[in-house]
Amino acid sequence: MMFVVVASCFLIMLYKLMSAWFIDLLVVIFCIGGVEGLQTCLVAILSRWFTSAAGSFVKVPFFGAISYLTMAVSPFCVVFAVLWAIYRQFPYAWIAQDILGIALIVTVIQIVRVPNLKVGSVLLSCAFLYDIFWVFVSKSLFHESVMIAVARGDNTDEDGVPMLLKIPRMFDPWGGYSIIGFGDILLPGLVVAFALRSVCQRFHRSSHSFI
């Protein structure tokens, strides 16, 4: 339930401080998270083929033990995020933004875990009410939809905040993008991940019982 309170405060802050410099700050934060997410996903994929590099570690100051595979993919992830930040206004920059965003979402789902179904149900119910309030009810308080205004990046030269996935409307004569926020994917994803872990644990227990 605290998610609704924290997310609402953050959304109001975005709405009130929405400007060019604040978008730049969000871009930096998104790049840091995107680099971490992309690095985690690439290491998980490449470790299947480069097992020795994934299992060998070196101590790095301030970071501790880091595998050689992580050190190898980190420069690519940093360059990828920096190039997106520089050229994010270009027509095809949405591809890089979606790659960074998906990698970040996958990493968060891997780290954050719903403890039980009750917490997951309350979380999704609160998120449902949160969306309804800030998309529709907020018009009566702020004279416009706060969530839509933030997603569009009003009062800035950007197409919107970077914390969302974008796909261009290919066959729409008016152009533009179809967008979906990270929360709309992340929160249901946490519950789906919980369900998958529960099924795997039950299967593991039943297989041991059978043996």
Q: Just list the catalytic residues.
A: 131, 184
Helix (H, G, I), strand (E, B) or coil at 170: coil
Q: Which amino acid is at 115?
A: P
Asked if 182 and 114 touch (Cβ cutoff 8 Å), the reply is no
- Which among 100, 84, 1 has a CA at the least distance from the CA of 42? 100
- Give the residue ranges of DSSP H helices in 138-181: 139-142, 146-152
- Alpha carbon distance 59, 62 (integer Å): 9
- Which among 31, 7, 39 has a CA at the least distance from the CA of 162? 31
HSE toward the beta carbon, residue 182, CA cutoff 13 A: 21
- Which among 153, 128, 141 has a CA at the least distance from the CA of 4? 128
Helix (H, G, I), strand (E, B) or coil at 167: strand
Question: 103 is written with which tokens?
Answer: 């990698």
Question: 38 is written with which tokens?
Answer: 């992309």
